[in-house]
Amino acid sequence: MTIKTYSLRLEGLSVPDGEISLRDLVEIGGALQTMATRIARQVGNSEGRGAPPASIDRMSELRLTGVDKGSTTLLMRLGDVGALPFTKGGEEGLLIEHFEDGFAAISKNAPPKWASPLVVEAIGRVAARVHASGATRAITSWGFGAEIKPQVVIALSSVDLTVWKVEEQKETERVRMTGRLDKVDLRARRFRVRDDVGHDITLEDVVDIDAAATLIGRRVVAAGVAEREAGRVVRIVEPTLTPEELPVDWFIAPSSELPIGAPIPRGGIPGVTVEEAEAFLAEIRS
């Protein structure tokens, strides 16, 4: 792979030209490397958990070659020093193309259509780390050898970090859960049920909201589509709510063998006088 040279010029930092705090250097450098690695893994069809193949590591390696003046400019190289020159349609060519496209995407607040969620998150991390450095403007340049030219200008005040948030994938299934209905927002058709171990579960777009409103404070059964996060149900969508019917054997019918007010059974209670027993019964009846 032919080595390509990049520079990231940071204007408006609070430190003198040519300097950068080590904290910002580590944060920005780490974010840039993550972006390069994730793009390489995407183009190499090796996304997911686990260490990337050695070839992915080599071709996506970023190396800091210097810090220059002209505000503060980070000089970097991307690629495997010992590899053959890249071909435009190969993995290395796609890596370079997409890596450079990431900077343009930040300037436009527009995640690339080709980018996977992991890559989108990584590009957003670069935007966040550069923004957090306090720079007012970032200029990225690249080229081969000494022929490096400005390519993308990023006005940090215009960067929208919210467009880079990737919604976490949630598992869905139909469930039935029981608990006490203890919170409600009728206008939003949103309730909350607390299960028997104290977890709060949000109920979104409840079916038959008028009937459901009469169940507030009671134990209910919520049946609908569940969304899980970290393995736990946190939300049920479009649930139906019904009162929970407790098993009959949970209730004890009054005994007819000893009606209230009946005298103490003949023979008494060992160790307790009749007067003491009568006084006890009188107390609990009061």
Q: Tens digit of pLDDT for each residue in 161-171?
A: 999 987 765 55
Mean pLDDT computed over every residue of the chain: 82
Instruction: Find where tokens 């991307």 sit.
Output: 78
**What's the confidence (pLDDT) of residue 84?**
44
More confident residue, 226 or 249: 226
Q: Which domain holds residue 279?
A: 259-285
92 and 191, same structural domain? no
160 and 175, same structural domain? no
Q: Does position 159 have pLDDT exceeding 90, yes or no?
A: yes
**Tell me: the pLDDT tens digits for 85-119?**
545 557 788 899 999 999 999 999 999 999 999 89
Provide the domain count of the chain: 3
Closest residue by Cα to residue 152 from 96, 182, 108, 187: 108
Q: pTM of the prediction?
A: 0.58
70 and 120, same structural domain? yes
Instruction: Find where tokens 């139909």 sit.
Output: 174
81 and 184, same structural domain? no
Handedness of CA 247, 251, 253, 255 (dihedral sign): positive
